[in-house]
Amino acid sequence: MSRILAIWLTLCALPLQGQQIAITIDDLPFVLRSRTTPQEGLKIVHDINAAMKPYNIVATGFAIGSQIDEETITVMDVFTGAGHKVGNHSWSHPDYDTLTRWAFRREVRRTDRALRAWMQGPKYYRFPFLREGKTEKSRRVADTVLKNQGYVNAPVTIDNDEWQFNLEYVDALEMGNQSEAQRIAQAYLKHMKERTAHFQSRARREMGRDVSHVLLLHMNKINADHLSDLLAWYADTGWTFITLVEALHDPLFSAPETYTGSKGLSQIERVLGE
């Protein structure tokens, strides 16, 4: 029996563990820096912290190193001060496939230095655009660089287009179109529920069980205003909130990936071969 088949049978034989989800938030300190004042960015973080507090969520936020400066230090302090963790999301948010090995190493190391004041415990890296290397060789290179820097890759299971809804939402708010903003917010919530159901269903159908899910969000305005609605839906439908550390213990995240290519995908898709 091949190693891959053996691991696959083990994954499918694991018992159902219930609906568990870790909350991760990309693009700290906050999204759309050029269109958001430091005061507005700080409010976004306060509001997202407030949305998570009733559920005792310990989220992991992935920060872009170049965005951390004197104007955003307070934002980072507020996020971690609420008990949340910080991970590395590169220095300049590049597509990994556009980088040499040494450029990727610099992206990781430079951000590592910028985050030392806030990054405690295990060190996690989130690839921008979820693009981890379009060839097996480039993936191995990334794995080696991250391991040498003491990092663990932090994939997601519930991928989505929340970032696109945020762009449209901010545009509507800036135009003073409240009804359109509300329509977009409702579409965002519907989309997030559909994406959750899709990846949960695929894991159950093709792996025979629930996996520990990792949700991808961003530190943005639409979440500041409506994350509380999304989290209430998760809680009301029986989901348990766990940490990223707990989620990554699921054997899904150590299973061999059968997908090789340039797409940014859910870990479920990577393991199943898209």
* Rounded distance between C-alpha atoms, residue 27 and residue 123, angstroms: 16
Sign, CA dihedral 162-193-261-151, equals: positive
Token pair for 90: 């590169």
Calculate what percentage of the chain has a pLDDT beyond 90.
92
**Is the N-terminal amide bond of 29 cis, ω within 30° of 0?**
yes
Token pair for 249: 């213990």
Residues 188-243 pLDDT 10s: 999 999 999 999 999 999 999 999 999 999 999 999 999 999 999 999 999 999 99
Task: Please say if the pLDDT value at position 150 is more than 60.
Answer: yes
Name the 3-class secondary structure at 224: helix
Residues 98-139 pLDDT 10s: 999 999 999 999 999 999 999 989 999 999 999 999 999 999
* pLDDT band (50, 70, 90) for residue 79: very high
Residue 18: predicted pLDDT: 73
Q: Check: CB of residue 55 under 8 Å from CB of residue 231.
A: yes
**244-272: buried (b, 16+ CB within 10 Å) or exposed (e) per residue?**
bbebbebebbebebeebeeebbbbbbbbb
